[in-house]
């Protein structure tokens, strides 16, 4: 109400709602959707006024039983509370119990005052900016950065952030009338108070839910109504999962189409020592040759110069082997049939103002995507595209990745 942020808890069909303003529980519903708390139809959600109904917290004074300098019922019920990143309290013993992002998510000021959320699990961490719904960091338990972020990356809206995991929606590259890679990556996303998705089954996983709806300017350029929900989750072993759900909310009965990519920049020790496996024998469109169609001939993709390809009907699992660091990034994708592989090499690196001249040596983009066949949604239909990233020791034997062992 009135733009005040709330958290929605769900378990077994029941639900509860908690506003950060006053830490105020305003709703508690049974599995039949029946409201069990009273909330006045005239309740005001206008700070500093208290909310009439639900469960107000009276602290540090009940009624007028205390200092005359305090207002009745104290001040806790009309202050803005914060999510607690370190609650010093164990999670509920029942693994199905709903919990908020407060257990392992901290809101912080990021670059240039842009707000970010930090997820932590088992020593691992990930950072997500509300600007762009952009994952900018993924670190292992030793604090080593696994995503590439350019030293010249600009955190200056409306410019996109160079590195991490930009979201290309509703258009990939220049395949349409919109600016390259669409607009989702340079819009301010909001926390999703009602994600309509259950918490992760693992009670220790840290996650955050974001939502993007089209602005007036977006609608003029892309005249479709949609809801784009994004969950970023950091699970045991540092497994990073991004789940995108796009729903057609057009009221005119019209379908719409879009292309999409998770434009993931991986940090590597030396691009000349990197192999990408899982795409051999596939057809690809070469962006350096007017998207002409070719067939991959090698047993793996290696890098000796600029490379920019869209691999078609790519398998669910792709591996990025970094021999110098003796590790493998495992990419698992669902709902995303294509894969893009890109490295700009030296000339293009020097031509990009937000990219260091020599940084191409330490990055590679392997992107889970839906490009050749755009996704089309009829009204009320929803599409899901999921990306899962994990890090495993190299298991490169005989020219192929032993994926079962890696998993």
Q: Which of 73, 181, 224, 263 is catalytic?
A: 263
pLDDT of residue 298: 92
Phi, psi of 24, deg, nearest 5: -95, 115
- Catalytic residue selected from 101, 121, 359, 367: 367
Local structure of residue 78 (DSSP, 8 states): G
Give residue 406's pLDDT. Answer: 43
367 is catalytic: yes
pLDDT, tens digit, 9 for 90 and up, residues 171-205: 999 999 999 999 999 999 999 988 888 888 877 78
Total-model pTM: 0.75
Number of alpha carbons in the 13 Å side-chain half-sphere of residue 290: 0
* CA-closest candidate to residue 322, choices 236, 229, 394: 394
- Domain boundary assignment for the chain: 1-81, 93-406
Would you say 210 and 189 are in contact if contact means Cβ atoms under 8 Å apart?
Answer: yes
**What pLDDT does residue 286 have?**
98
Contact 236, 204 (CB under 8 A): yes
How far the first Cα of the chain sits from its last, in Å, is: 44
The pLDDT of residue 69 is 85
Per-residue pLDDT for the chain (407 aa), expressed as one digit of tens each?
777 888 888 787 788 999 999 999 999 999 888 999 999 999 999 999 999 999 999 999 999 998 888 899 999 999 989 877 667 777 676 655 554 443 468 888 889 889 999 999 999 999 999 999 999 999 999 999 999 999 999 999 999 999 999 999 999 999 999 999 999 999 999 999 888 888 888 777 899 999 999 999 999 999 999 999 999 999 999 999 999 999 999 999 999 999 999 999 999 999 999 999 999 999 999 999 999 999 999 999 999 999 999 999 999 999 999 999 999 999 999 999 999 999 999 999 999 999 999 999 999 999 999 999 999 999 999 999 999 999 998 764 334 445 434 43
Residue 323 known to be catalytic: no
Backbone angles phi, psi at 15, to 5 degrees: -150, 160
- Predicted confidence (pLDDT) per residue in 346-370, tens digit: 999 999 999 999 999 999 999 999 9
Burial class (CB in 10 A: 0-12, 13-18, 19+), 297: exposed
DSSP helix/strand/coil, 95: coil
pLDDT for 140: 96
Q: What is the distance, to the nearest Å, from the Cα of residue 334 to the centroid of all Cα atoms in its chain?
A: 15
Backbone angle region of 185, left / alpha / beta, with phi > 0 → left and psi within -120 to 50 → alpha: alpha
Q: Report the pLDDT value the prediction gives residue 400, as an integer from 0 to 100.
A: 46
CA 79 – CA 58 distance, rounded (Å): 12
pLDDT in the model for residue 4:
82
Strand 206-212 to strand 226-234: parallel, antiparallel, or no bridges (unpaired)? antiparallel
Omega before residue 170 within 30° of 0, cis: yes
Rounded to an integer, what distance in angstroms lies between the CA atom of residue 59 and that of residue 253? 51
| Residues with Cβ within 8 Å of residue 235, at least 6 apart in sequence | 121, 200, 202, 204, 205, 241
Report the 10 Å Cβ neighbour count for 190: 15
Q: What's the CA gap between 116 and 173, in Å, rounded?
A: 26
Write out pLDDT tens, residues 67-104.
Answer: 888 899 999 999 989 877 667 777 676 655 554 443 46
What CATH fold (topology level) applies to the domain 93-406? Beta-galactosidase; Chain A, domain 5 (2.70.98)
CA distance 343 to 305: 8
């Amino acid at each position: 109400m009135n733009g005040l942020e709330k958290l929605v808890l769900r378990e077994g069909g029941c639900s509860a709602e908690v506003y950060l303003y006053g830490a105020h529980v305003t709703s508690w519903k049974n599995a039949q959707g029946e409201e069990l708390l009273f909330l006045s139809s005239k309740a005001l959600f206008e700070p500093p006024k208290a909310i009439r109904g639900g469960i107000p917290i009276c602290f540090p004074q009940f009624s007028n039983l205390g200092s005359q300098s305090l207002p009745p019922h104290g001040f806790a019920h009309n202050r803005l509370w914060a999510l607690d990143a370190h609650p010093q309290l164990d999670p509920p013993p029942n693994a199905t119990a709903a919990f908020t992002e407060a257990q392992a998510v901290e809101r912080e000021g990021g670059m240039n005052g842009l707000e970010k959320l930090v997820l932590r699990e088992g020593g691992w961490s990930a950072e997500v900016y509300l600007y762009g719904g952009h994952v900018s960091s993924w670190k292992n338990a030793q604090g080593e950065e696994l995503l590439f972020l350019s030293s010249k990356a600009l955190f200056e809206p409306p410019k996109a952030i160079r590195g991490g995991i930009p979201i290309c929606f509703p258009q990939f590259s220049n395949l349409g009338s919109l600016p390259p890679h669409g607009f989702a990556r340079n819009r301010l996303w909001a926390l999703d108070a009602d994600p309509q998705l259950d918490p992760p089954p693992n009670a220790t996983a840290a996650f955050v839910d974001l939502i993007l709806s089209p602005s007036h300017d977006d609608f003029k350029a892309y005249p479709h109504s949609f809801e784009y929900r994004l969950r970023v989750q950091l699970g045991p072993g540092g497994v990073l999962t991004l789940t995108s759900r796009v729903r057609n909310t057009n009221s005119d009965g019209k379908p719409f189409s879009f292309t999409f990519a998770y434009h993931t920049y991986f940090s590597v020790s030396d691009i000349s020592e990197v192999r990408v496996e899982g795409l051999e024998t596939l057809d690809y469109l070469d962006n350096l040759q007017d998207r002409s169609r070719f067939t991959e001939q090698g047993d793996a993709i290696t890098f000796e110069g600029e490379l920019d390809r869209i691999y078609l009907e790519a398998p669910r699992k792709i591996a990025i082997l970094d021999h110098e660091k003796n590790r493998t990034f495992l990419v698992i994708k669902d709902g995303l049939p294509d894969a893009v592989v890109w490295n700009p090499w030296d000339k293009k690196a020097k031509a990009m103002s937000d990219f260091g001249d020599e940084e191409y040596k330490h990055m590679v983009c392997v992107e889970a995507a839906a490009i050749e066949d755009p996704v089309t949604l009829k009204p009320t239909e929803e599409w899901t595209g999921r990306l899962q990233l994990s890090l495993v020791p190299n298991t490169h034997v005989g020219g192929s990745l032993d994926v079962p062992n890696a998993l």
